[in-house]
Amino acid sequence: MRPPGQTLESLTIGPLPIVNHFLDQLKLRELFCQMLPSRPGRRPILPCADALCVLVRNMLLSRYPLYSIPDWTRTFVPELLGIPPNQIDLLNDDRIGRCLDLFFASDRATFLTLFLTRMIKIFNLELDVLHNDSTSIMFTGRYPRCNPAALWITNGHSKDHRPDLKQLIFELTVTEDGAVPILVALHNGNVTDDQTHRQTWDRLRKLVGRPDFIYVADCKLCVSDTMTSITRNGGHFVTVLPATRKEEKWFKEWIQTHPVSWEEVWKRPAVRRKNDPPDVFQGFESPLPSAEGFRILWYHSSAKHQRDQEYRQTRIRRTIVDLEFLNSRTGAYKLKTDEQVQRAAEKIVQDLGTKQWIEVTVVSTEKVEYQQACPGRPGLQTPYRQVKKARPQVKWRVRDEVVAWDAKTDGLFPLITDVGKDRADLKQVLLWYKYQPHLEKRFEQLKTVFNVRPVFLKKVERVESFLVLYFITLIVEALIERQLRRGMKMAGVAELPLYPEQRLCKAPTAERILELFGGLRRHRLLQGGKEVARFQDKLPTSGTEVLDLLGVNREAFSE
């Protein structure tokens, strides 16, 4: 029982010492102080650099909306947030909004260049292979284009399959060394990827300091002018050959009559289910280069081969079932004439994507019906007459020759590159391309773990600043994962008990690492406002090992 007059103060420590360890290495606050323009008039009570750093910490740990951040900060040890205790109440959503406006008015391009250059040097990132992709950030409400210097939130090709919503394009480039983001670009909502690759590559060349890195992207990179420009300036690329290119059609016709000497290049273990067979990749270089003179490499995946077969068979079966159901309804409303039934049948094969495999025709058949020959209630002596009616029926035929033709192309996908055979064989090019899902994982974390949507901001200028801070958040997350996994590899640690019930984890994510320290609290016993005693929760199981692997001082949790 506490003596009278004493109070107990309990504040959260959580994983803030880990986050601060990386933010201090990146010197984020110093860079904010250097680049943010000064406001006219009196000196601000709470520096904008401190407010923006608190916002970054919130994005990493809790993802609260701006109006809830003041309540969130009061639950943490203020010293770990970088704000004196007497200034906590000064942090509110209006002040954070004005800080976002100030960040938009700053030279954000120079800010990011200085920030990224420092990060690359401190963490010694490998920049030989860089991966690029983009995603869409959806918005609801009205966003009129008032400021020509700001982005345009508008309708475009939605990668989230929501054409009814407005969007911005969030483009990201990561390293193959831990999928660490090293470049971000925000575009108007109606911009497509094929319009951005040349500009992105030029920015990467300036950031890396040399042009001879490997630039990996999706099929929107496969534009003659873009690929030729990269090669002419000393760069290299790897991308997917689109199905619209003539080279793709030529090869699929060529393999129908020519034997292909496939070479096994990679055997990847099953990704989803352990009992599934491994995915075997075979490679073959096309005998003809692209129209620009680049190498075209064809690959056959055993897992994709099975998926293609199952997809085709499932679609054909569904089409037949729908056509049989259509036959049972002919003669009903809007299905009485041959033309009406023909249109309905063609719509079925069109919607299911089986037009090339199933041929449909409509024929009229006679159906005999018996109708009462005289009016009145029918009885035993009521006469009936025979009536013949024409009823359209759908006939279909599976085009076996087309199915057999397509079966020879199951499991195939082509890559195009300007990297010579002396530098990259079939396996190396495939491995470069197959690292792309790590970049897509960053987008998944942005939208699910960090909960970037919905964005509760009305001013486009603040939205743009907000998304740049999310880019910094992704960097910190990636660096935490990279540092721990590299530490595990160097220490010979294969697994860590990070899951509930001390289950082992082979590849820890930043989310799992931060959750491990989420319940830590610091307690102070106060007497008349003065500290009498201080103590804190014990580090969780495996917490000390994680801190050692991350290179974080354990004493940071006892301050």
Place of tokens 């082509």: 414
Amino acid at 179: A
- Contact between residue 14 and residue 518 where contact means Cβ atoms under 8 Å apart: yes
**Position 450 in a domain:** no
CATH number for the domain harbouring residue 276: 3.90.350.10
**Position 112 in a domain:** no
Whether residues 244 and 193 fall in one domain: yes
Please give the tally of structural domains in the chain: 3
**Position 17 in a domain:** yes
Q: What is the structure's pLDDT at 178?
A: 92
**Position 72 in a domain:** yes
Whether residues 416 and 280 fall in one domain: yes
How far is it, in rounded angstroms, from Cα 27 to Cα 119? 9
Q: Which two tokens stand for residue 185?
A: 């670009």
Amino acid at 554: R
DSSP-derived secondary structure for 192-248: -GGGTHHHHHHHHHHHHS-S-SEEE--GGG--HHHHHHHHHTT-EEEEEPPTTSHHH
Whether residues 151 and 293 fall in one domain: yes
Across the chain, which has 559 residues, the per-10-residue mean pLDDT values are 73 92 94 85 78 93 84 89 84 90 93 95 95 92 82 86 88 95 93 90 95 95 95 96 94 93 92 81 95 96 95 96 91 83 93 94 80 83 80 91 94 96 94 95 89 83 93 95 93 88 87 89 82 84 89 81
Q: Could you tell me the CA-to-CA distances from 535 to 74, 114, 531 in Å, in that order?
A: 19, 40, 11
Confirm whether pTM is higher than 0.85.
Answer: yes
How far is it, in rounded angstroms, from Cα 128 to Cα 117? 15
Q: What is the structure's pLDDT at 1?
A: 54
CA–centroid distance for 303 within its chain? 22
Whether residues 10 and 64 fall in one domain: yes
Q: What is the structure's pLDDT at 413?
A: 96
**Position 447 in a domain:** no
Whether residues 271 and 159 fall in one domain: yes
Cβ neighbors of 445 (< 8 A, separation 6 or more) are 474, 477, 511
Whether residues 15 and 89 fall in one domain: yes
- Residues for the chain: how many in total? 559
Identify the domain containing residue 147 by its residue range. Answer: 127-299+410-440
The answer, yes or no, to whether the previous bond of 211 is cis (omega within 30 of 0) is: no
Whether residues 153 and 47 fall in one domain: no
Q: What is the structure's pLDDT at 275?
A: 78
Q: What is the structure's pLDDT at 40?
A: 64
Whether residues 243 and 383 fall in one domain: no
Whether residues 282 and 341 fall in one domain: no
Q: What is the structure's pLDDT at 45?
A: 78
Whether residues 339 and 358 fall in one domain: yes
Query: Can you state the percent helix, strand and coil of the chain, rounding each to 5?
Result: 45, 20, 35
Amino acid at 25: Q
- Paired residues of 166 in beta bridges: 139
**Position 472 in a domain:** yes
48-61 helix and 460-491 helix, angle to the nearest 10 degrees: 60
Whether residues 193 and 284 fall in one domain: yes
DSSP-derived secondary structure for 492-550: T---B--SGGG--BSS--HHHHHHHTTT-EEEEEEETTEEEEEEEPPPPTTHHHHHHHH
Q: Could you tell me the CA-to-CA distances from 336 to 313, 322, 333, 350, 396 in Å, in that order?
A: 31, 18, 7, 21, 19
Last residue of a domain, one of 384, 407, 430: 407
Whether residues 95 and 156 fall in one domain: no
| Positive/negative CA dihedral, 131, 134, 137, 142 | positive
**Position 18 in a domain:** yes
